[in-house]
Chains A and B, each alone.
Chain A
Amino acid sequence: MAEIIQEEKGGKRKAKKVAPHIDMTPMVDLMCLLITFFMLTTAFAKAKVMEIILPEKITDPNYKPPSVPTARTVNIILGPDNRVFWYPGVVKPEDYNNLPPLNETDFSATGARQMILEKNRTLARKIADFRTQVTEGKIVLTPDSVRGTISKIKSDDDTGPIVLIKAYKKANYGNFVDILDEMNICGVAHYMFVNITWFEEKMVESAMAAAPTKPASPK
């Protein structure tokens, strides 16, 4: 600044009028920094929730559990080390000394999902057909009634499996969410989370003894 004033005093030259040019580079630098900071700290994707409703606890000792058709029942047992086992039907008291073997599967698209889908095909197809009809505009419904109709299709269904999900004591929470997710993906109408029984724990232990390591998933 001082220089300019001196120049004006010394030489009588008129200072050229130049529009003041502010160097904005540092400002841009700073803003870049701030934008980056805010972008990184912003939680853009809000966490999602998966709703689960558990059956009420029954305290009445005289209560008899509803009978479940054996043929449609599938038991899924979450094991340790991300392993997952299943067996169809029910173990009767007379079979306690001769427990059926467990089948092992995994959480990939060719594992548990295929197994469940295999059993749930009729219902899954019904839901998929309904959805295509809605997207193609053959049926015009509000989103709420679409959801309502799907849940009606589900509750009317009497062909799909009844899945009982049980967790062995060394299972982890991620597997629990995974298997519930599979139920949602496959559109299983009836599934519930129940306590593991002593003979099922035994079955898991013997299955673990038979195959100590997880078999490689077929690709």
Chain B
Amino acid sequence: MPKIKLPTKSPHIDMTQMVDLFSVVLTFLMLTTTMRQPEPAQVDTPFSISEKPTPDFNTMTFLLSKDGKVFINFDNGPDTLLKFRPKILDEMGKRYSIEFTDKERREFQKYPSSVGVPILKMKEFLDEKDSKSRDPYQVGVPLDSTDNQLAMWILCARQVNPNIQACIKGDSKTEFPVVKKVLDILQDKNVNRFNLITSLEATKINLDEIQK
């Protein structure tokens, strides 16, 4: 009997549905995504059980890096629409008699993450072309008693936006004196309410433990 040879065909899978599904997922992800902004310093936040989400706007965030540098950020939410950032920069400029150009103001407004630049270097920092060449300027905001620019930033921010809330984002290995100093400066400016940014950790205490 002659063998019937079936032509070997590679199986053909119809991928159309798969593409459909992927498109939907992709669109969803693209629309909901908020890009993680690169911060000038890597920070691992400590854990807590608090479930309150970070406020979306009206915040000033103090980033405390592991090596004791302090960076500030005025949020990128609706504040940027209300143009708080350039106003704060102008206020700062007035106090240190620095005139910022429109271009510099725009640069400051759209700068995506925290800044830790001494105000005297701010002009050069904003005039730099790309983020690579900006990095060397990020040395932390000066906060010693002779030149307390952090206090000035807080003052200006509160003047421009009275509803601003203070958030503190520290690395769990940050030395405490730095934290204490920032808290002290804030308290000097009558800010007594803080939001400590933490990651969520599920901890439950044992009810039997209490009932004992």
Contact = CB atoms under 8 A, between A and B. Distances in A.
Given A24-B15, A128-B210, A172-B175, A32 B22 contact: yes
Q: Which among A25, A113, A171, A177 has the greatest number of chain B C-beta atoms within 10 A? A: A177
A31 B205 contact: no
A48 B54 contact: yes
A125 B210 CA distance: 6
A49 B22 contact: no
Interface residues of A, number: 53
Interface SS of chain B: helix, strand, loop or mixed?
mixed
B53 A46 contact: yes
Contact of B26 (A34, A55, A128): A34
Contacts of B180: 167
A54 interface: yes
Interface in B143-175: 167, 169-175
B35 A54 contact: no
Contacts of A173: 46, 64, 170-176, 178-179
Given A31-B19, A171-B176, A174-B46, A185 B203 contact: yes
B19 to A, nearest CB: 5
B23 interface: yes
A49 B197 contact: yes
Contact of B192 (A21, A32, A53): A53
Interface residues of B, number: 61
Contact of B196 (A28, A56, A175, A177): A177
B18 interface: yes
A56 B207 CA distance: 36
Interface of B: 12, 15-16, 18-19, 22-23, 25-26, 29-30, 32-36, 45-55, 64, 167, 169-180, 183, 187-188, 190, 192-200, 203, 205, 207, 209-212
21 contacts: A28-B15, A35-B29, A47-B198, A48-B54, A50-B52, A50-B195, A51-B50, A51-B193, A52-B194, A55-B192, A57-B188, A114-B209, A117-B205, A125-B210, A168-B176, A169-B177, A173-B176, A174-B172, A174-B174, A177-B196, A178-B46
